[in-house]
Copies of this chain bind each other. A is one copy, B any other.
Amino acid sequence: MTQNQGSPARELTGRELATAIRTDAAERAAALAARGRPVRLAVVTATDDEASAWYVRSIVNAAGKVGIECEVADLGPGAEVGEIRDRLEALSADEWVSGIILQTPLPRGAKLEDLASSIVPAKDVDGANPLSLGRLASGLPAFAPATAEAVVRLLDHHGIPLSGRHAVVVGRSTVVGKPAAHLLLDRDATVTVCHSRTADLPAVTSAADVLVAAVGRIGLITPDHVRPGAVVVDVGTNQTEDGTLAGDVDPTVATRASALTPVPGGVGPVTTALLLAHTVQAAESLA
């Protein structure tokens, strides 16, 4: 990795890759539809959270554009755990449903990792079932959480090497940090996971050749967290007060990193495209 000599970081945009993934998914979805097997994605939601509603609409919209039918099962914020579980089991058993997403946040007392056990792995297109994570960690075929996979796909797309490199993931969530760590490890990176209890975060993150920020705090990563010339992937999609999106990485990091994913337009569009690609892949396996 060459040192950044004051020139701003290369922007690792996700739009081109997302378009390529969507184009491929659309072709394959059309082929399935022509054989009488339309691709269908079920989104189960049990919240009145506005950001969630916005995200679900964006999924429905994106799915429609690649020829995937989207069915939103809105159980409302008062849904019981048993009701959500029953719905996931019914969708798992429904031969016309290709993929299933359980949207967060969930009602109080419901835990994503627990409920997602009711999504059959073959349709678990966002890798939420603990079995999917366990299979991923064990080197067995499984759908990875789309966001975690988007990190590695974006790095690949831009020709960033991973083998033997030190990747540092900030954030240890089950949906992003942990699966991203496994995917990076699987690519022969040396992988460090840090989090809110890490002592001296800047010292740890400064060891990174590739730094992945997946915390959900605006601007947490500043230039003193970044080794000059490092590649930085910003997974954060935080709502600002004025309604725009901001990442976990402060924009001034661009003066220090050699390459940086933008927010929006970096990991986000690749994530959505991969969710759709997984759904098509699930439909192909089920067809």
Q: Which residues of A contact B (CB under 8 A)?
A: 113-114, 129-135, 137-140, 163-166, 172, 174, 178, 181-182, 185, 188, 190-195, 197-199, 204, 207
Contacts A133-B137, A134-B130, A199-B165 hold; do A172 and B193 have CB atoms under 8 A apart?
Answer: no
Q: Assess whether B194 is in contact with A190, with CB atoms less than 8 Å apart.
A: yes
Identical subunits present = 2
Interface SS majority for chain A: mixed
Q: Assess whether A164 is in contact with B131, with CB atoms less than 8 Å apart.
A: no
Q: Which residue of the partner chain, among B114, B138, B191, B197, contacts A192 with CB atoms under 8 Å?
A: B191
Q: Assess whether B172 is in contact with A185, with CB atoms less than 8 Å apart.
A: yes
A174 to B185, CA, bound (A): 12
3 residue pairs, one from A and one from B, having the closest CB atoms: A134-B134, A130-B134, A113-B138
Q: Assess whether A137 is in contact with B134, with CB atoms less than 8 Å apart.
A: yes
Closest to A184 in B: B193
* CB proximity of A35 to chain B, nearest CB, Å: 31
